[in-house]
């Protein structure tokens, strides 16, 4: 009699590259004209410039060529427009990338094992009255409500980062209400517990917190995959 087939569960790599925001003028040389224009319109041009230079450099390291030669395309998961939405790398559909920048940090995630989404948050930005009402499914509230004020800020930021990472992996962003993305409590290992969005996801979702060492910031990364994920952290 034939032996039952064994399916090994191979971990999928997610590479995370992050760096502090810098005013080094050479970073802008890596950007294209559109990105330089967008940087100039931002309240914090250095943050945008650092983030996009980091994204270009990280992608070039994976696909070869120079950071300047990388071409990004965008597609909105909600309306199909190519003027906004999740970035993809032209000519490299096998590589998924995601970018996030906030406070003093820029973070990039890259994976060849499924759509990836990363989000970095400044702890103080999530620590406001009414957070539960705009962010949480009722089932998520008890895990936050029992925390004292000394732990609540980080907990809120972490839950928000987990939700946004999932929404960036799926490409919906905040076009899907974050209350429809039910994640594990802040003191539990990161996991997507339930997706209540109207359009079902085509695979499982792997979710992990990103162990940043920068005070006042937290981050999470999500991968659309049925395989377990392994996060490799690299500081640029």
Ligand X SMILES: CC(C)(COP(=O)(O)OP(=O)(O)OC[C@H]1O[C@@H](n2cnc3c(N)ncnc32)[C@H](O)[C@@H]1OP(=O)(O)O)[C@@H](O)C(=O)NCCC(=O)NCCS
> Which residue of 27, 54, 85, 192 would you call a contact of ligand X, by CB under 6 A?
85
Beta carbon of residue 105, minimum distance to ligand X (angstroms, whole number): 10
Window of 82-90, 149-157, 190-198, 203-211 that interacts with ligand X by CB under 6 A: 82-90
Instruction: Choose between 77 and 147: whose C-beta lies nearer to ligand X.
Output: 77
Contact between 45 and ligand X per CB under 6 A: no
Contact between 76 and ligand X per CB under 6 A: yes
Contact between 71 and ligand X per CB under 6 A: no
Window of 97-105, 146-154, 191-199, 226-234 that interacts with ligand X by CB under 6 A: 97-105
> Which residue of 164, 192, 207, 223 would you call a contact of ligand X, by CB under 6 A?
164
Instruction: Choose between 69 and 79: whose C-beta lies nearer to ligand X.
Output: 79
Contact between 126 and ligand X per CB under 6 A: no
Nearest-angstrom CA–CA distance, 7 and 5: 6
Contact between 100 and ligand X per CB under 6 A: yes
Nearest-angstrom CA–CA distance, 56 and 31: 8
């Amino acid at each position: 009699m034939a032996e039952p087939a064994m399916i090994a569960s191979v971990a999928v790599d997610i590479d995370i590259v992050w760096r502090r925001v810098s005013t080094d003028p050479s970073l802008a040389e890596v950007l294209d004209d559109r990105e330089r224009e967008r940087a100039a319109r931002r309240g914090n041009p250095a943050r945008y410039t650092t983030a996009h230079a980091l994204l270009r450099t990280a992608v070039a390291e994976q696909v070869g060529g120079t950071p300047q030669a990388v071409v990004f395309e965008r597609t909105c998961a909600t309306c199909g427009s190519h003027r906004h939405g999740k970035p993809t790398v032209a000519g490299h559909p096998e590589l998924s990338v995601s970018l996030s920048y906030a406070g003093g940090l820029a973070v990039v995630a890259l994976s060849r094992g499924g759509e990836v989404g990363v989000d970095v948050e400044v702890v103080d930005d999530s620590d406001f009255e009414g957070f539960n009402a705009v962010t949480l499914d009722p089932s998520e509230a008890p895990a936050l409500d029992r925390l004292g004020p000394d732990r609540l800020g980080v907990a809120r930021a972490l839950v928000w980062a987990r939700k946004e990472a999932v929404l960036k992996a799926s490409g919906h962003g905040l076009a899907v209400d974050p209350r429809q993305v039910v994640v594990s409590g802040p003191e539990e290992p990161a996991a997507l517990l339930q997706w209540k969005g109207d359009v079902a996801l085509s695979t499982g979702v792997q979710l992990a917190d990103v162990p940043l060492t920068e005070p006042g910031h937290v981050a999470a990364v999500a991968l659309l995959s049925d395989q377990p994920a392994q996060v490799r952290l690299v500081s640029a």
